Structure formats: C-alpha cells, structure tokens
Amino acid sequence: MTRNEPSTEIEYAPCKLACPILTDAREYIQLIAERRFEEALTAIMSQNPLPRTCGRICTHPCEQVCKRGQVDEPVAIAALKRFAADGPWKDRLRQVLPKASSGHKVAVVGSGPSGLAAAHDLALLGHTVTVLEKLPIAGGMMAVGIPSYRLPRDVLEADIRTIEDLGVEVKTGVTFGNDVTVESLTGDGYQAIFLGTGLHLSRRLNVEGEDLPGVLKGVDFLRDVALGKPVTLDASVIVVGGGNVAIDVARTALRVGARDVLMVCLEKQEEMPAAESEIEEAREEGVAVVNCFGPKRFLENSGRLSGIEFKSCTCVFDEKGAFCPQYDENELTAMDADTVIVAIGQAADLSFAEKDGLTVTRRGGLEADPITLQTPIAGVFAGGDVISGPATVTKAIAAGKRAAVSIDFYLRGESIPRSEPAIADQVASLPPGVIERTRQFARSKIAGLPVEQRLSSFSEVGPPFSEDLATKEALRCLHCYLGARVNKEKCISCLTCLRVCPLQVPTVSKVGEITIDPFVCQACGMCALECPVQAIEISLDPGGEIAREVEKAIASSQHLERLIVGFFDLHGNFAKKDLKGLREDYPNVLPVMTFGLRRIDRSDILKAFECGADAVFLAGCPPNRDPFPEAGDRIKRRTAHARTQLEAVGLDGRRLEIFDMPDEGLVEKGSITELIQRIKEMEPSPLRVRR
C-alpha cells in the first residue's frame, strides 16, 4: 500500500470476529459504560434475536479472544449482555418494524435457536412466518435441554414473545412428518420451508446391559424434568459423559433427589468439552468427577442395574485431533450405582426424512449446502444442529440468520449469494511493553446463590450485574480498532504522538512515516489532541462529539440561572445515586460525561462558555481508577491555556476550575458550592446575555 492509499481492510475486533453472529460487543459495552443502557440493548438486538437467553447460556467465545485477557482477565462480555437485556428499559424498547408484507409464506419447523432466528429475520424482511414445534412448549432444546437454573423459562418465553410480536405465529404440538409434511405445507401455500429440528435423541453407548431398568438417557431425563413429569432419583447416580449436557444432567440429578452424583468421562480434566465454569459450579454442588474411564458394560442384579464396569481410557484423540478413544482393557474398575444416566452426545430424529424425500448424510444429519443451506428439494432449507451436529446456541442462531437471507433471495427469485461467513483468525498478541504499561483492573464478579439454596430448587444460580457494577466492568474494555487513525496526507512526522502516547504504540519507519497499530492502540486520545496539524482522529470519539454534547446540554437548560458545565470522567468511582443526587442538589450543574478528561480539548471548554455557561469545571477521577494517570499534567496545561484565553476576552479566569473526584462519588459538594458562590458574585456571562 502506498502512502496515499486508504486502507480497505475490514477491521473486526477479536470479540466480534469470534462471535458466530458477528455481534459488535464493543458497541454495546461502550454504551453501557456511558450508562446508555436502552441503546445498548438496541445494539445487541440488531444482531441477536435472543439477547436474554444468550446472556445466560452463550459460551462467549468473544471472551476467549478479548484483548483485555492478555493484560489481566477478559471483559465479562456475556454478563454485560445479560445486564443490558434484563434491565427495566427492555419494556420501553421500540421494536423494529417489519418491512411491508412480501406476500410470501414461510414455514419454520422447530422452535430452537436456529428456527427462532430464521423466523425473526424472515418476519423483519416482510414474510409471513409460521413456526411449527413438536413439543408442547416453544424453545426447542433451550426449553427442555437446558435446566431452568441456567435459563429460567420466563426469560426464554420473553425472547420468544418479542419474536411473536413481529407477527410470527408459533404452533406447538405439531409433528413434522406426521401432522405435516413438505407436500402438505406446500399445498397450504408455503413457498419455502426451513428445517431446524435440532438434536433431540441421546446417543447410545452400544455396550452390554444398556437397556436395563435404571439406565436413563440424558436428553430424555432433562426433557422429562423440564416438562414437569414425575422424576425422582435417590441414592447414588453415575453420569456418563464429560460435556455440558452431562454437567446439566448431573446438577439436575442433585436437584431431583440424588444423594450423590459421580460423573465419569473419557477425557482428562483439561480435555473435557464442558465449560470450565460449569465444571466448577458442579463441583461446588457436590458432583464428583472421574476422568479417563469409559464404560465396558452395565452390571445387573435380579434384572435391574446394580452398577457399571469401566475400562481405562489411555487416549481420546488421535494425532490429527479426531475423536478416536484408545483403551487399556486390562485396567478395569466397577462402580455401584442405583441409576446411570448416559449423556455422551445427541443425535437428530430424522424419521421424517425418507417420507419427504430428504437425504440423510453419513454423519446422521440432513443434507444441505453448507453455505446457502438449501437441501436437494427446491424451496426447502435446513440449518443448525440438524446439519452441523452438536454446536452452540449462537452457532445455531447464525445458521438461522443465514437461512433467512437465502430464503429471502429464493422467494424474490434471485440467485442466492455464496458468501462464506467470517472466520476468526488467530488473535494478534499485544507487545510485551504495552502489556506491562497497561493498567490492570480486576474483572467484576458477583457471587451466585449459596449451594444449599441452589440444590433446594431450580432457581437461577447466577445473579445479574447491578447498573454500577456493569458500568465499572464495561470501562475495562480496551477499545480494539477504535483508537487513533493517522491521516498520512496531513502527517508531518513531527513525532509528537510518540512522545505523548502512554503506551508507546506509535512507530516510525526509516523514512519517517508514522504508523499506529489499530489493534494495539487503546484510544486514550492524547495523540489526537496534541497533534499540531490535526492529522490524527480517534474512532471512539469522533471529532466535535464532546462539543456537541455541551451544546445539547446547554440548549435544554437555558431557563436555569447561573449555568455550570461539569466535565466528569466516567472512570470515577460513582454510582447511580450520585448522579441523581447531583441533579437534585445542583439542578444548574450540567454534567457532561467523558471517557477521560484527557479527551477534552481547550475548544470543548471554550465551547461551553460560548454557549452561555457561567462557569465550567473538570472533575478528574481518582488516580487508582484512571487508566492513564500520566495525562494529568497535560489536562492541567490545557485548562490553564483555556483560562488564559478566557481572560483575554474579559472573562474572569476563576470561572474555570479543576476538581479531583473523591474516592467515592462524583465531586465534593463543598467544591461546587464554593464555585456557585463565586460566580454569584460575578456578573452573568456576557456571552449568555447576548444569546
């Protein structure tokens, strides 16, 4: 690329690229940090039709690649999503309205994540959508395969209602292949069909004694509990499997009466497919885990299960990483059990396939184009676990959204695009020096229910963040690709940016060309304000944004006397009550919140006076909360220069002050009271009089 060529590279933050549905976590995290919670939820829902659900059960691959994790711990992205989706503002959210009716009807078979996502997007595109669900309740495996202590039913139902509000009709108790078929749906006027039937069968071990009374299937067990069927366990239970479903089975078993629960799996602990947090919570509740053993046969006594014999598993995967367990048949161990629940994986129920002319693959899924999701039958599409095999909820949502695009093109008679979904590359590493110079801030955590309360009910284990805790956590984001951009046409290679950057991110080539790595930069903003030729812009704060906030605040408050604009640092240790108290105690103080006083230029301060402010103060956050405390001297110099310019036009320089925010709260009341008293002794701002 030559000096004059702009970059055409699409720069996705690692968190966005890792998300199967490409949710821009940075956007809603920034909005949460600014306490713009309703807008944060709007941003989430622009990509995710199941925000409340995903805030609880998403495996959050975004956190695994979070840049903050290279410094200390990843931002708690999933918890922030849940916070935004759960708040009272959700009831005020204005639903996006569908396009005008297209006149096309689409049937969606299955109300799991892929089906609901497809229905949601198809409805927004103007199509009439009917969702057909075999179970007596909507939600698919989210409703009957994920225990309510992880995903409360009212939470899932709320997400589904939001989709129904778009005009989507959900019919339960309808079995595809029996009550309806491809032929009958086509005859009823449906011009396209999406099959998102999921995986509702438990995989078998195929070992001796598997059909003995007392041997249960994991998926069936969870479904029976979810549907309120009488399920009671007592004494000892062994769960075979090491994935998330096995963990759900084990923890559910304790809640329906099992005295003790033992999980036995092939994998070593570090190889277990279950989420580490889920394993930890299961252990807290009393689930024991035995690794590196696989079932050899079930043991019986008087025609009923009495236990299970295991053989040592020496290796689970081959040299290519494929599942290929190896056993030592000479190392055997028997374990007593009153009940064994097998949770080694799920399979699709494709009993309808032959009747409808659908093709089943060797892996046991429906045949469909992996990109367009078209099946060999015209107008029939399939997606989610039924073609991919077991996957995450967000991957199923992504499949449903992709199917909606393909179906829309199909219904409009256009060629379906074959664009590949974005795939995350390996995340770049921060330079060691940048990691060392980046301040560490502990990840926000909140304790779950005590174990005794967990085991006595199916109440949700993890509580949500409060507004203040969510805001604090959101401020840990390091703003990947939202930092400095150098305009090479303007840059004079003066090296000012190198001198002022607290992380020493800018580099200079042998020919004097300045480069700022957009991944490494953390958007502190100092280089942009110090650049003598304004050759640097900060994506996080577009030029003039702070000045516009000042104008807006003053324009709506012209009826107040003695207007004071207060610039506050969002990183300060203040709470919702402090903001409320400021407004009540000092209604003439107009707070302007910023991502650091270091972003405030002299022009922003002078803009406040130009718009009619009688006084201005800057409240800097406590040093222990400031990610860039080294900016303090520069802030003071800018303020001093602004004071000099005020005096040059005849305004008393004492109208401009810098305060330190206290360890807790927004600002010391005495400081504001003193400033108010001072300006009362002065004439009103002549600039305001002229306005």
- The CATH 3.30.70.20 domain(s) of the chain lie at 484-538
pLDDT band at 684 (very low <50, low <70, confident <90, very high): confident
Q: Which residues pair with 309 in a beta bridge?
A: 297, 334
- The CATH 3.50.50.60 domain(s) of the chain lie at 105-199+348-411, 202-346
Domain spanning 14-94+427-474, CATH class: mainly alpha
Mean pLDDT of 82-101: 82
Candidate CATH numbers 1.20.1250.20, 3.40.50.300, 3.40.50.2300, 3.50.50.60; the one for domain 105-199+348-411 = 3.50.50.60
Q: Yes or no: say if 226 and 147 are a contact pair by the CB < 8 Å rule.
A: yes
pLDDT of 1 higher than 50: no
Count of CB atoms within 10 A of residue 190's CB? 20
Mean pLDDT of 458-478: 95
DSSP type of residue 165: T
Q: Does domain 202-346 have CATH number 1.20.120.920?
A: no
pLDDT of 121 higher than 90: yes
For residues 562 and 547, give the distance between their C-alpha atoms in angstroms, rounded to a whole number. Answer: 20
- The CATH 3.40.50 domain(s) of the chain lie at 547-690
pLDDT of 422 higher than 80: no
For the stretch 595-646, pLDDT in tens is 999 999 999 999 999 998 999 999 999 988 999 998 888 999 999 999 999 9
Task: Report CA 587 to chain centroid distance, whole Å.
Answer: 36
Per DSSP bridges, beta strands 656-660 and 615-620 are: parallel
pLDDT of 7 higher than 90: no
pLDDT band at 419 (very low <50, low <70, confident <90, very high): confident
Q: Which residues pair with 215 in a beta bridge?
A: 340
pLDDT band at 361 (very low <50, low <70, confident <90, very high): very high
Q: Yes or no: say if 274 and 263 are a contact pair by the CB < 8 Å rule.
A: no
For the stretch 544-593, pLDDT in tens is 889 999 999 898 887 778 899 999 999 998 998 998 999 899 999 999 99
DSSP type of residue 614: S
Q: Is 670 exposed, middle or buried (0-12, 13-18, 19+ CB in 10 A)?
A: exposed
Q: Which residue has the tokens 């093709």?
A: 359
Residues in the chain: 691
Give the residue among 187, 196, 188, 193 at the shortest CA–CA distance from 129: 193
For the stretch 29-83, pLDDT in tens is 999 999 999 999 999 999 999 999 999 999 999 999 999 999 999 999 999 999 9
Q: Yes or no: say if 231 and 147 are a contact pair by the CB < 8 Å rule.
A: no
What is the reported pLDDT for 688? 61
- Percent of all residues in the chain with a pLDDT value above 90, rounded to a whole number: 80
Task: Report CA 376 to chain centroid distance, whole Å.
Answer: 35
The CATH architecture that domain 484-538 belongs to is 2-Layer Sandwich (3.30)
Q: What are phi and psi of 680, to 5 degrees?
A: -65, -30
pLDDT band at 99 (very low <50, low <70, confident <90, very high): confident
CA distances for 352 relative to 112, 175, 190, 232, angstroms: 18, 9, 18, 33
For the stretch 264-300, pLDDT in tens is 999 999 999 999 999 999 999 999 999 999 999 999 9
For the stretch 212-233, pLDDT in tens is 999 999 999 999 999 999 998 9
pLDDT of 6 higher than 80: no
What is the reported pLDDT for 27? 94
What is the reported pLDDT for 690? 45
Q: Yes or no: say if 156 and 163 are a contact pair by the CB < 8 Å rule.
A: no
What is the reported pLDDT for 545? 86
Task: Report CA 476 to chain centroid distance, whole Å.
Answer: 15
Give the residue among 114, 106, 112 at the shortest CA–CA distance from 168: 106
pLDDT of 423 higher than 80: no
The CATH architecture that domain 547-690 belongs to is 3-Layer(aba) Sandwich (3.40)
For residues 691 and 682, give the distance between their C-alpha atoms in angstroms, rounded to a whole number. Answer: 18
Helix (H) or strand (E) holding 598: none
What is the reported pLDDT for 425? 62
pLDDT band at 428 (very low <50, low <70, confident <90, very high): confident
Least confident of 84-98, 178-192, 388-402: 84-98
Count of CB atoms within 10 A of residue 41's CB? 25
Half-sphere exposure of 320 (CA within 13 A, CB side): 3
CA distances for 324 relative to 126, 314, 361, 381, 427, angstroms: 47, 11, 20, 32, 29
For residues 367 and 388, give the distance between their C-alpha atoms in angstroms, rounded to a whole number. Answer: 10
Between residues 240 and 423, the one the model is more confident about: 240
Query: Mean pLDDT in the chain?
Result: 92
The contacts of residue 573 (CB under 8 Å, 6+ apart) are 621, 622, 625, 661, 663, 664, 665
